[in-house]
Structure 1
Amino acid sequence: MNGNTMYFLELVLPLATPTTYHYQLAPHQFNSDIDTLVGRRAVVPFGGKRFYTGIIVSVSLAPPEGIASSKLKYVLSLVDDSPLVPSAQIDLWHWMADYYCASLGSVLRLAVPHGLLPESRTIIHLNPDFIATTSLSALEVQVLDVLAQAGDDGLTLERLQSMIEQRVSRAYYRLLALGAISTDEVIRSHYKPKLKACLRLSEAYRTDEALEQVFRDMKRATKRMEVLTSFLSALLSLGGDYAALIPRGQLTSGDASIAIHLRKLVELGVLELVQVADSRLNTPDEEDLNIACDKGNEYSAYSLTQSVTLLRSRDIESKESSIIAQVKDVITAGGQVLLLSPSASGVPRAAHYLSALKQASKGKMYHYHPDVSEAKRIELYKHLSSTEEACLILGNRSAIFLPCRRLQLIIIDDEQEYMYKHQYTAPLFHARDVALYLTAKERIPVLLSSCSPSAETLFNVLRGKYGSIDLDKGTLANSPIPSIEIIDLKKEKREARGKDISVISPSLRIHIERVLAKGQRVLLLQNRRGYAPYMLCSVCSSAVKCPRCAISMSYYASRRLLSCSQCGYTEPLPQACPSCHATESKRKDKLIPALRLVGYGTERVEEEVNELFPDARVMRLDGETLQTASRRQESLERIEAGDVDIIVGTQVIKTQPIWDNIGLIAVVQLDDILGYPDFRAGERAYQLLYQMALYRANGASEQDFRIVLQTSEPKHPFIEALKMFDYDAYIKEVLGERQRYHWPPFTRVSYVVVKGYDEHDTEKMAHVYAQVLQGKLGKEWVSGAQALSAIKIEGRYVRHIVCRRPYNVSFREERRVFKEALEWLRATYPNYSRVHISFDIDPL
């Protein structure tokens, strides 16, 4: 490299802005090959005071067109000695930004652990020379007092507000204007490397003569001599290198007296204490590798002749064994495997499966999901970016962004699960679709595994786009069809002759009693958390709604709170109706509270089950009871101990090890599941019940079991299809219906979401944007602006525009129109800045 060469870098910063940013790199900051710059992190100034860590995505020898080099700021520092992000990952980011209509910065924030992208924080300091010449408010005086106590370290605005327990923005800006406080920008990383205390001989004692003198000097300190002798023996085991490091814990083995003598040797200068960075990543454990496990040995890896292949089996053991065989084959060949699961807890349905995967990967198995600490995820990201070791990575949807340099197979287990779709911040990506891009771009085979594949995947198998491996071929004729019985809730109510009946109908109660009498377990599915989904007023019939989202709040008895499912807002149970302020209403000449809880969640079902079956041991399994690792462990111990007779839960139960000795699976309110306003509601319900039946059939118990459905529509076509228990036939029927009504997979759908704090601005911008899209894409493919059930979310009004296009038409024209329409709206309407327009591509 020429010592005077100036480089111009294009960086993507972790900001939701539509552009990348350009900076200069001074000659003295870089002395390597230009090709090693792309993918490195760089710390750069941004705006007047801020500093960010970004990723270099391109390098040139000339400034960007139309920008003078004098206008470009300089890079402060390069963080890495080599690229952290491979070029293939950067290409993936560009594709995602284009396909999902998001900024590169938004993609970066999802793709790279937050701790690898430290940014500056504003630190507030007290000005010791400040003398007030005007009166200060009580809050301003309190701010100055708290800052005085903080001393030279200062405080962030967030910390200051938490200590004062109120917002101080107005006081902060006034004190800043008066010169009472000053600010600094400091870059602090939350990531701290794990350190291990090690000991080594001081340089003056690294000869035999010096050590002999030490032993002569401490001949009366026999215990200290023994400790030093032990240290030297450890050095000999490492080859006798006197400069080698020995972990302190290896020498002490928890013995406090040895630790005291080691500390004395350090004080005497014989030994040095050195803190060495220690990896948090798991290393191969010989005991784990020796676990007796033949899972996968009876299967050979299949040759994946097509880029995408669907692996199907109604037998869970067969499916898992086939996955293990595929992993073993790739690892043996020196490649890397990425195994995605819809959730962290959904990866291992049994510890045996994990042990077999660890054996297949020769101990090189890593986890990457939210249950893993951020520090460990950071170390895994850095490790994978710098190695090509053969290994297996198990993770959730975010693991698709890991910088695997020798990735040879992507496995997506239970590919139909909605958890693969990111739902909250842009880009709203689907991990399965990102994997499909990688197979097209990088030629990495993708194996989709499922016992109940999505309609989209089966559609691609039927038309030959995907390959298929059916482990059930030739065995389906012998597969038992579970007994499915229907309880007509309308009939139950008629027979009750006006009396209120429990959510556990009399007929279901009889079924439960029979199963418990046999010593079997009962599983009650109610796919709604909490106690009751609504609180209604008997006087004005209005529901208690979230003030920020304008949707009904659910009641959680365990927390004694109403909670919003959209934004998490909570409040205690009100005494009076928020709409009409009534506290009581009259019913049959009696005064009762005006507000009443309506509907059933898992908590309410659990309560009624406990009342009906007081001698039964009842367990509730839902997102709340399985929220923490300790709660999951407690539930697992109860199940393993057999300390449960009736399980009440949501769909999360299907990933739990509960299926042995289940005699009854009952759906408490099937109508609630089928009535969800989504064209995929029937498909998801069938998948859920089909999977639960298969998990039970794969359990250890050989006793019969049955499925009972409580419904007000016993003749519903879904029920007739479920009785046949033929998943493929049902999906083919679903595909025919979707073709008639132009729904996926026969069309591709995109939602345009317009949000704003002013309802009029939101309505107007959504209406204008819809008109522009209709003019460019056609009215038959673009709907008008629609207000859905949740017209307000987190304080902002919401409007949706639905766009469709045939599945065989490229997305690029539609995305181009989206962007052009946004630019036109921005230039034409000054109020555009008061709304936010985002895109949900291929929504679920």
Structure 2
Amino acid sequence: MACFYEIAVDAPLLHPLTYAQPTGSDDPLPVGCCVRVPLGNRKAVGYVLGPAEKEKGEPRFVIKPILQVLSQKPVFPEELLPFYRWIARYYLHPLGEVLRTALPLQPTSRGTGRVKEKLQTVVVPGAQLVDLIEGREGPEIVAALAKDSTLQLKKAELKTLGIFLETFTAQGHQPVLRSLLNKLYSGAGPRIKQLASAGLLELAEQRVYRDPFGEPPPLFPAPDSLTGEQEKVLAEILPAIDGEAFAPFLLFGVTGCGKTEVYLQSVGHTLAAGKTALVLVPEIALASQLEAHFFSRFGDQLAVLHSGLSDGERFDQWQRVLQGKAKVVLGARSAVFAPLRNLGLVVVDEEHEPAYKQEDGLHYNGRDLAVLRANMAKCPVVLGSATPSVISYHHCKEGKYTLLQMQKRVANQPLPQVQIIDLTETGRSRPDLTFSDALINGLADTLEMGKQSLLFVNRRGFSSSMLCRDCGAIVQCRHCEVSLTLHRGRNRLLCHYCGYSRSPNVVCDACGSTRVHGVGIGSERIEEEVQQLFPQARVARLDSDTTANRKHYLSTLKDMREGQVDILIGTQMIAKGLHFPGIRLVGVVWADSGLSVPDYKAAERTFCLLSQVTGRAGRGEDPGVVIIQTYQPQHYALELAQKHDYPAFFAREIAVRAPLAYPPFTRLVNIRFSGAREQQVQQAAQQVAGFIRNHKWASSLELLGPTPAPLVKIRDKTRWQLLIKSSNQQVLHAVCAAVLEQKGKLWPSAVRLGVDVDPENMM
């Protein structure tokens, strides 16, 4: 009797499909294996979800057989299938595309993808050699074989055997790499084959795990003792690990209080209990910083998963986890899909970070899925931050999360003194530069003291815009309605959205003037100005332009740690997670960039960013100093960041959001429309809005729009959006699911519709 399978096809299909057993095969297919299936006139990749029953009676359609099994072994554990199904339902995303997002390799319809296991040939003793090895030295064995007339071994073969036996013994009787023998003796290659034919040696294939660390990370020993606050919060977390029940904690700890050590102690306790642990960070940069701490403590039990690894490294790390060889996973948001079994603890560091939200494809939030994994695994989850998200802190107020607090820095170091410089009133001795006199003097004093400074600017490049001085027009990208950024190091104008570039020697598109000059600031410009002011200083820059090479990023961190850098300049990647005791001064060059964004979270993001970057100062013996330059000194986000007063900020922000019915008081869904023809996009958005207004649950919703998106054109596509609010999550999902069922009716195929549940970015 033929078997039928439920297959999640990697295609924009709302539901899985049914396929029959592959022709000519009776072997049952396990849940999680990867297959190739027919889909219309093409072939597609799919994932086996389990057996399916054929409909009774007359079939409505012919059930086609699976064409090919691409992976005999499951590529994900069956116990994670409910997790993947929940994601597909909640984010209204096809299950097959959810699985493709989760997996480290991207299979194609023509095969299993370009990532394969890396194998190497090793040499081991053959049957005739095993008995001789017992209790004898290598030269003695070679001498005995030389006298054996039945073997008739030549001099070169005996030499090869001697080198093998010497290496085999030195390695503790472990297999010897064939490539190593070739290096030790250039004539070993053909001799190994001859010795294998004689039964003296055997050749085997051994898997090689590509090392993601490269150079071993620096070691960080465990502290001799814990602080009182660390012991207090661990007294809550460790029993929860032993309790084997879902327990969500919000660890609210000031910068420098030792949250990382709490994570390490908690993970160590989890491993001692025979369980596994998942640790998430919002960005690759933070993963690279924490790798050394976790590798120091857990060694080969650690696997790292993030997009900064090569395809082969990421594939190997996934396999180590899938096979149970790695018990601790550390990574960015995609690591939430790691195939860990017997999960005993989930940690989300910097849980407030918007980087946990995936902005294209599957719009998932890594932090929220981490909480879900802990819930499904019946284990505790620790959300850590010095500036918790408003939503998480509200959950504590409502009793959904348990609040754990750490209000003192390690060794009772004081929080830095913060000075706000009003750029509208402050006179500057160098008006040609971006720096106030206070910041210049602070940098000079810090250099004289032999300490380090950190300068934060939330934009990369040299000039954020190119302005025509005759007509005031801004030079824009030809494919996006955004300004081009000058990157002087590359001598190019770049679009940070689509990658379009052009020469900086431009004429104004509006009036033809050649008087086009760069305005605005970026990290590249700040670096140049610092070198003008302090030519003797050792200056380094970290942003996405300089850290495309991971080795360069780690090298810069090493130089900073060893005191080889005087002034570090960078974007958001230097604002959090860095622990360098030598940093005395932190300067925020322009604090206002995030406040002008049309987003209800603008104030929250500004407060968090300023508080985080402020926390980089004063982690050593000397008190820290922070100088924030701004044109809006009276804004509550800046005033309360200066005072390190998160509770006051939360109270102020909640008071702003409540009357406007923004989260945490409601849930949001942003429906986005994009297409090449503006009229089509606008019409599609209006038709969908009309459909929702006439829906039976429309009275439980509030619609904002449809309107053009703040960034109305990206990559030659016009963009509109429709924001839906409701306090009823089930209603929101039901209405959006009803919209998706109207595909091809309410909007044409030329218009792309995307549903973003719990949007983090309104742009």
TM-score range, shorter chain: 0.7 to 0.9
| 1:308 partnered with 2:248 | yes
SS at the partner of 1:751? Answer: strand
User: How far off is 1:751 after superposition?
Assistant: 0.7
Report the secondary structure of 1:532's partner residue: coil
In 2, Cα distance between equivalents of 1:74 and 1:220: 56
How far residue 508 of structure 1 moved from its aligned partner, in angstroms, is: 2.8
Q: Does 1:54 align with 2:46?
A: yes
Corresponding residue for residue 190 of structure 1: 114
**71, 92, 96: which one aligns with 1:105:** 96
Q: CA deviation at 1:723?
A: 3.0
Give the alignment's TM-score, normalised by structure 2: 0.87
In the alignment, does 2:448 pair up with 1:491? no
Question: Could you tell me which residue of structure 1 aligns to residue 736 of structure 2?
Answer: 818
One-letter amino acid of the counterpart of residue 38, structure 2:
P
Note closer, same or farther for the CA distance 1:259–1:317 as it changes in structure 2 (3 Å cut). farther
Residue in structure 2 matched with residue 183 of structure 1 by the alignment:
none
- Of 658, 661, 673, the residue aligned with 1:742 is 661
CA apart distance, 1:295: 6.7
**2:13 maps to 1:17:** yes
CA contact (8 A) 1:526 1:649 kept: yes
Q: Which of 26, 30, 34 pairs up with 1:41? A: 34
Whether contact under 8 Å (1:219, 1:225) holds in the other structure is: no
| TM-fit CA distance, 1:601 | 0.7
Q: Which residue of 542, 564, 570 corresponds with 1:649?
A: 570
Pair 476,225 (structure 1): closer, same or farther in 2 beyond 3 Å: closer
Structure-2 change in CA distance of 1:455 and 1:448 (3 Å): same
Counterpart of 1:228 (choices 125, 146, 161) is 161
Between 366-375 and 775-784, report the one with greater CA deviation: 775-784
Q: Secondary structure at the match of 1:782?
A: strand
Secondary structure at the residue paired with 1:690?
helix
Separation in 1, partners of 2:506, 2:166 = 75
For the pair shown, the structure with the greater C-alpha radius of gyration is: 1
Query: Using the alignment, how far apart are the partners of 1:295 and 1:250 within structure 2?
Result: 44
Matched, 1:248 2:177: yes
Q: What is the 5 A alignment of 1:441-840?
A: 441-472=376-407, 480-492=414-426, 500-583=431-514, 593=515, 595-655=516-576, 657=578, 659-697=580-618, 699-700=619-620, 702-776=621-695, 777-778=698-699, 781-806=702-727, 809=728, 811-824=729-742, 826-827=744-745, 829=746, 832-840=748-756
Write the mapping of 1:103-252 to structure 2, written as runs, cut at 5 A. Answer: 103-115=94-106, 117-120=107-110, 187=111, 189-200=113-124, 215-217=147-149, 221=154, 224-225=157-158, 227-228=160-161, 231=164, 246-249=175-178, 252=181
**For the aligned residues, what is the CA RMSD?**
3.6
Residue 12 of structure 1 aligns to a residue in which SS? strand
C-alpha deviation, 1:82, in angstroms = 4.8
How many angstroms apart in 1 are the aligned matches of 2:211 and 2:638?
Answer: 48
Q: Give, in angstroms, the shift of residue 541 of structure 1.
A: 1.9
Whole-angstrom CA distance in 1 between matches of 2:640 and 2:226: 37
Change in CA separation of 1:190 and 1:500 when aligned onto 2, cut-off 3 Å: same
Q: What is the SS of the residue equivalent to 2:278?
A: strand
Q: Does 1:432 align with 2:367?
A: yes
Q: Can you give the 5+ residue segments of structure 1 that lack an aligned partner in the other structure?
A: 121-186, 584-592
Q: How many residues align?
A: 737
Corresponding letter in the other structure for 1:228: L
Counterpart among 271, 283, 304 of residue 367 in structure 1: 304
1:404 shift after superposition: 1.7
Once the two structures are superposed, what CA deviation does each residue of 1:648-689 show, in whole Å capped at 9, x if it has no partner? Answer: 221211357563332321211122233233222222222222
Deviation at 1:219, TM superposition (A): 7.5
Contact kept in structure 1, 2:303 and 2:326, CA below 8 Å: no
Shift in CA distance, 67/696, structure 1 to aligned 2, threshold 3 Å: farther
Aligned residues of 2:681 and 2:718 also touching (Cα < 8 A): yes
Which amino acid in the other structure matches residue 593 of structure 2?
Answer: D
Is residue 294 of structure 2 the alignment partner of residue 379 of structure 1?
A: no
Counterpart contact for 2:486–2:493, Cα < 8 Å: yes
- The Cα shift of 1:558 comes to 1.2
Matched, 1:344 2:284: yes
Given that 2:464 and 2:521 are in contact with CA atoms closer than 8 Å, whether structure 1 keeps it comes out as yes
Tell me how far apart the structure 2 counterparts of residues 627 and 513 of structure 1 sit (CA, whole Å).
31
Give the aligned residue type for 1:549. C
* Aligned CA distance change for structure 1 residues 383 and 703 (closer, same or farther; 3 Å): closer
- Paired-residue identity, %: 25
Deviations 1:183-228 (A, max 9, x none): xxxx3631232122123566788888x9977743477855643542
Deviation sequence 1:440-486 (CA, Å, 0-9, x none): 3342321111222111111101111001222338x899773432222
Q: Is the 2:257–2:407 Cα contact (8 Å) retained in structure 1?
A: no
Letter in 1 for 2:301: K
Q: Partner of 1:153 in structure 2?
A: none
Compute the TM-score of the two structures, normalised by the length of structure 1: 0.79
In structure 1, what residue type is equivalent to 2:423?
L
1:843 corresponds to: 759
- Cα deviations by residue, 1:135-180 (Å, 9 ceiling, x for unpaired): xxxxxxxxxxxxxxxxxxxxxxxxxxxxxxxxxxxxxxxxxxxxxx
Aligned match of 2:271? 331
Alpha-carbon distance, 1:81 to partner: 4.5
Measured after TM superposition, the shift of residue 574 of structure 1 is 4.2
Paired residue secondary structure (1:642): coil
The amino acid that maps onto 1:765 is A
> Which secondary structure does the structure 2 equivalent of 1:330 belong to?
helix
Q: Check whether the contact 1:9–1:58 (CA below 8 A) recurs between aligned residues.
A: yes
Partners of 1:77 and 1:420 in 2: CA distance: 36
Letter in 2 for 1:424: D
Q: 1:338 Cα deviation (Å)?
A: 0.8
Whole-angstrom CA distance in 1 between matches of 2:643 and 2:217: 44
Deviation at 1:631, TM superposition (A): 1.8
Residue 358 of structure 1 aligns to a residue in which SS? helix
Q: Specify the SS of the correspondent of 2:689.
A: helix
Structure 2 residue identity aligned to 1:839: V
C-alpha separation in 1, matches of 2:512 and 2:183: 66
User: Per the alignment, do residues 634 and 198 of structure 1 end up closer, same or farther by CA in structure 2, a change over 3 Å counting?
Assistant: closer
Aligned-partner Cα distance in 1 for 2:558–2:458: 24
Per-residue deviation, 1:520: 2.6
Matched, 1:409 2:402: no
Give the Cα separation in 2 of the matches to 1:519 and 1:238: 48
* Matched letter for residue 354 of structure 1: F
Whole-Å Cα distance in 1 between the matches of residues 471 and 212 of structure 2?
Answer: 64
Alignment match, 2:335 = 399
Secondary structure at the aligned position of 1:763 is classed as helix
